[in-house]
Chains A and B, each alone.
Chain A
């Protein structure tokens, strides 16, 4: 196998949220479909939660890509923590009204009530755990007007679960939990991802044992798997360029997987 093949395989696992890289897996597809259905329902908010690296951002990105052609959807991958800036951004994006000065919640509420939009705009807020409690309360109040629909993602930690309970218990919520992949799902994820990028040789070197080792190291976390495999192919690239006799191109080496895990900090050596 040529070093450029390892190199191209490496690029497949670059940690970037891109809807084009979305991999269709059975369970993920089901969840995604349920998210799409929830968006169509007259719900005020949809809560998408899960551990970091379970694909929440990818889901939002995919949802944005799929719905943007049919309805007004706005994706905010980075939280806008300044309250005035948040409302000004919403005002500009949803109603095309530009504010130069300060815009507080009351002023934005007036704008919202005066608006006469045919479609209810969908606002996708990623990393919502970074918003303050007050800001979350105001987002909730905006959702109560039923003039904006929110889909927010939260990291699932103990504290954030509590926030979710306090803020969202009394509201009409759809909650969708994302989980890590199983070993079989992970194998499919890796191979589909590689094949999608036409890296067939790269996809073929993964057998069940090597995937199980990867699953053991990453616990099925997609982000960690991407990070690990990026390093794995990086190491392969180095060997193919400097010491090709040390690598077996037909089967991925457990040693290189472990070396990559050490390098990425997934294994404490």
Chain B
């Protein structure tokens, strides 16, 4: 005798059981597809991140190259203001860093082959530049409060200073120049972009660190010897390092090579003693 209700239940169980392998395969496939999709998505995100980073880096490089291409006139007031800021702000270690080699020793830049100094190479390889930057950070608050009579303009133009106007309770913070340089040097070490080394050279020149400026300008010239701004900084640094004749010789060679008007103007100024 047929028991249809029981048979229907058995049939339902049988159907569920027969669907089970297919369902299992479907679920496994679904999981695999989702996993692959997530993996691809993550990869895409990584690529996107890299692209954004690259874009940002390019933008920064572009900004840097803009800075590098700034006219010389703008640099001069900064150099002039440096002395005051050095006197007030820069600790002993920084002063040591910018000290010139003794006169009785033959400086590296006097050799015919233009090379970075050994000390500089050591600095590039080992010396954590942050130390210098950190020392800049430890500036007592009152050091900023320089009496207005002494040098009112230098304080406002000083790149690493932190200015606090308590009366209006507005805090204006500028990023430390040494941190900037440190960051750019790191990036330069990675990609060897002459625009970066030129930026560093210019920044060092602005800060009065002529030896470093000379070294980075030299590196820039070695990478690309057609950058006018680099040769200008190189020559200016030589003048500041009391190597006027070398600077003149370098500029003359560069003018012969490139016929640069800016180089000609600078040469005239050096020869006439206008630029010291």
Count of residues in A whose CB is under 8 Å from the partner chain: 13
A262 at the interface (CB under 8 A from B): yes
- In the assembled complex, the CB of A15 is this many whole angstroms from the nearest CB of chain B, namely 17
Cβ B13 vs Cβ A259 within 8 A: no
Residue interface bits A202-233, CB-to-B below 8 A is 1, else 0 = 00000000000000000000000000000100
Cβ A269 vs Cβ B2 within 8 A: no
Cβ B11 vs Cβ A269 within 8 A: yes
Stretch with Cβ within 8 A of B (4 or more), from A81-89, A175-183, A234-242: A234-242
Give the complex CA separation of A258 and B14 in angstroms: 9
- In the assembled complex, the CB of B124 is this many whole angstroms from the nearest CB of chain A, namely 80
B118 at the interface (CB under 8 A from A): no
A263 at the interface (CB under 8 A from B): yes
Q: Which residue of chain A lies nearest to B15 when distances are taken between CB atoms in the complex?
A: A258
Cβ A235 vs Cβ B2 within 8 A: yes
Give the complex CA separation of A267 and B11 in angstroms: 10
**Interface of A (DSSP majority class):** helix
Residue interface bits B1-31, CB-to-A below 8 A is 1, else 0 = 0101001101101110100000000000000
Give the complex CA separation of A258 and B10 in angstroms: 10
- What B residues does A263 contact at CB under 8 A? 2, 7
Cβ A267 vs Cβ B14 within 8 A: yes
- In the assembled complex, the CB of B243 is this many whole angstroms from the nearest CB of chain A, namely 99
Contact of B4 among A238, A258, A267, A269 (CB under 8 A): A238
- What B residues does A238 contact at CB under 8 A? 2, 4
Chain A residues engaging chain B, CB cutoff 8 angstroms = 231, 234-235, 238-239, 242, 255, 258-259, 262-263, 267, 269
A235-B4, A238-B2, A269-B14 provided; 17 other pairs, C-beta below 8 A?
A231-B2, A235-B2, A235-B7, A238-B4, A242-B4, A255-B11, A258-B11, A258-B14, A258-B15, A259-B4, A259-B8, A262-B7, A262-B11, A262-B14, A263-B2, A267-B14, A269-B10
